[in-house]
Amino acid sequence: MADWNELGRVARDWTYEAADEIKRALANPFKVEAKSGPDDLVTEVDKNTEAFFYKKIKEAYPDHLFLGEEGTVEKINHTDGIVWIIDPIDGTMNFVHQKIKFAISIGIYEDGIGKVGIVYDVMADELFYAVQGQGAFVNEVELVAGKERPLDESIIGLNARWLTETHHSHANPLTALVRDSRSIRSYGSAAIEMAYVAADRLDAYVSVNLSPWDYAGASVLLEEVGCRTSSFTGKKLSLLEGGTVIAAKPALQREIVSAYVGEEN
Ligand code: IPD
Ligand code: CA
Ligand code: CA
Ligand code: CA
| Residue 17: other Cβ atoms inside 10 A | 13
Ligand 1 atom at shortest distance from the alpha carbon of 41: 14
Distance (angstroms) between ligand 1 centre and the Cα of 1 equals 34
pLDDT at 74 over 70: no
Give the pLDDT score at 75: 72
How far apart CA 65 and CA 108 sit, in angstroms, is 10
**What is the rounded CA–CA span in Å between residue 3 and residue 132?**
12
Ordered structural domains, the chain, with CATH: 4-142 (3.30.540.10), 151-260 (3.40.190.80)
**What is the reported pLDDT for 165?**
78
Which protein residue's CA is at the shortest distance from atom 15 of ligand 1? 91
Ligand nearest to the CA of 22: 4
Q: Which chain residues have CB less than 5 Å from ligand 3, an ion?
A: 87, 90, 214
pLDDT in tens, 135-144: 999 999 999 9
Q: What is the pLDDT of residues 151-199, one digit of tens each?
A: 999 999 999 999 887 766 677 899 999 999 999 999 999 999 999 999 9
User: Which of the two residues, 145 and 49, has the higher pLDDT score?
Assistant: 49
> From CA 239, how far away is CA 67, in angstroms rounded?
9
Q: What's the sign of the alpha-carbon dihedral 28, 40, 42, 128?
A: positive
Give 41 Cα–ligand 3 centroid separation in angstroms.
10
Does the beta carbon of 190 sit less than 6 angstroms from any atom of ligand 1? yes
Q: Which pLDDT belongs to residue 128?
A: 98
Ligand 1 nearest-atom number relative to CA 69: 16
DSSP-assigned letter for residue 220: H
pTM of the model: 0.97
Q: Which ligand is nearest to the CA of 102?
A: 1
- Is the separation of the CB atoms in 194 and 221 below 8 Å? yes
Kindly report the protein residue whose alpha carbon is nearest to atom 13 of ligand 1: 210
Pocket test for ligand 1, best of 49, 87, 90 (most atoms within 8 A of CB): 90
Nearest CA to ligand 1 atom 1: 91
Share of the chain above pLDDT 90, in %: 89
Please give the number of the atom of ligand 1 that sits closest to the Cα of 214. 9
**pLDDT for residue 72 is more than 70:** no
Beta strands at 183-185 and 204-210: parallel, antiparallel or unpaired: unpaired
Comparing CA positions, the residue from 45, 189, 206, 186 lying closest to residue 124 is: 189
CA max distance for the chain: 52
Nearest-CA residue for atom 4 of ligand 1: 190
Element (H, E) at 250: helix 250-255
Predicted ipTM of the assembly: 0.98
Q: Could you tell me if the CB of 210 is within 6 A of ligand 1?
A: yes
pLDDT at 17: 98
pLDDT tens column, 1-52: 799 999 999 999 999 999 999 999 999 999 999 999 999 999 999 999 999 9
Say if residue 265's pLDDT is above 80. no
* Strand arrangement of the beta sheet that strand 82-90 belongs to: 65-68, 82-90, 103-110, 113-121, 126-131, 136-138, 141-142
**Would you say the CB of residue 253 lies under 6 angstroms from ligand 1?**
no
Contacts of 145 (CB under 8 A, 6+ apart): 200, 225, 226, 227, 249
Is residue 102 classed as helix, strand or coil in its secondary structure?
Answer: coil
Per-residue pLDDT at 241: 93
Summarize pLDDT for 214-259 with one digit per residue, the tens. 999 999 999 999 999 999 999 999 999 999 999 999 999 999 999 9
Question: Please, which pLDDT band fits residue 133 given cuts at 50, 70 and 90?
Answer: very high
Is residue 116 a contact partner of residue 220, using CB atoms and an 8 Å limit?
yes
Provide the Cα torsion 19, 23, 29, 32; round to 10°: 30
